[in-house]
Amino acid sequence: MTNPLAGLIRAYPNRSSRPVTGHFSSGTARNLVRISRYSSSVFASPAKKSSDSDSEIPVGIGSKRVFRRDGFALLSAAVLMGVILATGVVMLNYAFSSRQAAKTFESEVFATQTAEAGIYKALFCMNTSSGGNCGGQYGENYAGESDIAIGNGKVTTTVTTNGTEKTVTAVGYTGAGKQETVKVTVSASPPTADAAFDYALEVGDGGVFISNNAEVRSGPIYSHSSINCGNNAKLDGPVYVSAANGLVDNCTLYGDIHADRITNNKMNSHDVYWKTTSSGNNNVGHSYSSQNTPPQQGLPSVDLPFWHAAAEAGGTIAGDYTAPTGSHLGPKVITGNLTLTNNAIVTLDGPVWVQGTITLSNNAQLNLNPSYGVNSTVVMADGVISISNNAQINGSGHLKSFILVHSSSDNTDAAIDISNNAAGAIFYAPYGGISISNNATVTAVAARKVSLSNNCIIDYSTTYHDASDIRLAATPSGDWRFVPNGWRSIP
């Protein structure tokens, strides 16, 4: 049997393992007695447990410390494994979600592209003259189609009318059932640019000279220079002269006059508004003195770079060009001179920019394509323009449709010369003069300087009541086009 003291020595490894010899203190002796009793009890009856608290001994303390260290290690490992497992689950879930999001986005893009393809097909069918690829319907009667196959998807289109515009709705579907809706607004009216000719006659600082029964009918007149009349010249509308010390002299008026100086006019019971001088006027309604000079206004604004670009879009004719009868002209740039003569009848299909001169004579006609409807367009020359001998320039046939004839020449006598029964159009020479004579009749005139004589007429009355209505267009109406900002996706 093993010595019970050996257990004590092993339980306290810091103690000496040498045999116990020598003398003990009284306390040490008592401890040894207790150990002896405990050993005898254990070896006598191993299953019986002593009830004497003094017999307890700190055997196994080292084992408890080992157990605690092992428990903490196991707990830490479990926590770490839990964190790793949770992180893995999160990462897998993220990867799965990202994959699903990518597939959803891909389906949305495909459905949207399918819907947009349907929009373009609908626009094609609305403008085509055959319904072979449009479900049997085309042009104005096209109302859309159902389940048009496009790649792995399909699209259904509907067309509804709202006044002069139409709304095209396309619903695109993917094979997986995803759908997207696109709507667009389209119009048959071309893009337009407004040009305000608010006066029958509008003149800059070059002066106005009217004589020999020349007449301005039923339209207001504005000038930034004096107006000098003679030989029964008639002005049928209010007159405004904004030049300091400006004069209106020797005219027959059928409207009021506003100018610093007003002299020798036949007023026909109309009023005069003057600042410094009013004398020699006949049959004045009321006279108002010390009035302010009318405010200065600029000549009409026309966006020449825009219209030059619109003409260039139709190509170029190099050198001089004489248009034959029955031909169509525009949009086009002509690098030389343009001539229409000897009964030639030419249809204008768009803006024309002539980099030389323009001559119309001997019963020639330049007529705007009827498809322009209410719209108008522009003919421009860098050089002078001559219209004579019964030549005519006409709009589309609509009362508000005109051809605006523009010269960039600075010839102050006649950047534009109109004579001998020539008729039509609105004429504009912002840097030069316009001369109208010998029974010529036009609609409206604006220039730096103007001369009217010999029974010529500016007729602003029957066809041109509201100058703000004029709409200059680069192309005729008829083709359906997307309206700016009219394209939208519907969630």
pLDDT tens digit sequence for 28-69:
445 444 444 544 444 444 444 444 444 444 444 445 555 566
Per-residue pLDDT tens over the stretch 331-384: 999 999 999 999 999 999 999 999 999 999 999 999 999 988 888 999 999 999
Task: Give the start-to-end residue ranges of the domains of the chain.
Answer: 104-189+480-490, 193-197+297-473
Query: Whole-model pTM?
Result: 0.66
Determine the pLDDT at residue 2. Answer: 47
Question: Quick check: 440 and 419 in contact, CB under 8 A?
Answer: yes
Q: Do 378 and 333 touch, CB atoms closer than 8 A?
A: no
Q: What is the pLDDT of residue 162?
A: 84
Confidence at residue 17, expressed as pLDDT on a 0 to 100 scale: 41
Rounded to a whole number, what is the largest CA-CA distance in the chain?
A: 164
Task: State the CATH architecture for 104-189+480-490.
Answer: 2-Layer Sandwich (3.30)
What is the pLDDT at residue 175? 80
Distance separating alpha carbons of residues 183 and 73, to the nearest angstrom: 66
Q: Which DSSP helix (H) or strand (E) runs through 186?
A: strand 179-187
Going by C-alpha positions, the residue among 432, 431, 429 that lies closest to residue 442 is: 429
Q: Which residues contact 87 (CB under 8 A, 6 or more apart)?
A: none
Q: Record the tokens describing residue 351, joined without a space.
A: 């803006």
- The reported pLDDT for the residue numbered 480 is 84
**Dihedral in degrees, nearest 10, Cα atoms 74, 80, 84, 90:** 120
First to last CA, the chain: 93
Per-residue model confidence (pLDDT) at position 216: 95
Asked if residues 281 and 249 have their Cβ atoms less than 8 Å apart, the reply is: no
Residue whose structure tokens are 């040009």: 195
Tokens at residue 125, please? 């069918």
Would you state the pLDDT for residue 4?
45
Strand partners, 406: 380, 428
Angstrom distance (rounded) from CA 161 to CA 68 = 85
Backbone Cα Rg of the chain: 51
Could you read off the pLDDT tens digit of each residue along the chain, which spans 491 residues? 444 444 434 444 444 444 444 444 444 445 444 444 544 444 444 444 444 444 444 444 445 555 566 667 777 788 888 788 778 777 776 666 666 666 666 788 888 989 999 999 999 998 887 777 898 888 888 999 999 998 889 999 999 998 778 999 999 998 877 889 999 999 877 766 767 788 999 999 999 999 999 999 888 999 999 999 999 999 998 999 999 999 999 999 999 999 999 999 999 999 999 999 999 999 999 999 999 999 999 999 899 999 999 999 999 999 999 999 999 999 999 999 999 999 999 999 999 999 999 999 999 999 999 988 888 999 999 999 999 999 999 999 888 889 999 999 999 999 999 999 988 889 999 999 999 999 999 999 999 999 999 999 998 865 444 544 677 877 776 678 888 777 877 76
C-alpha to C-alpha distance for 96 and 94, rounded to whole angstroms: 5
CA distance 252 to 270: 11
The pairing of beta strand 247-249 with beta strand 365-368: unpaired
* Residue 280 CB-density burial (10 A; 0-12 exposed, 13-18 middle, 19+ buried): exposed
Residue 208 contacts residue 229 (beta carbons within 8 Å): no
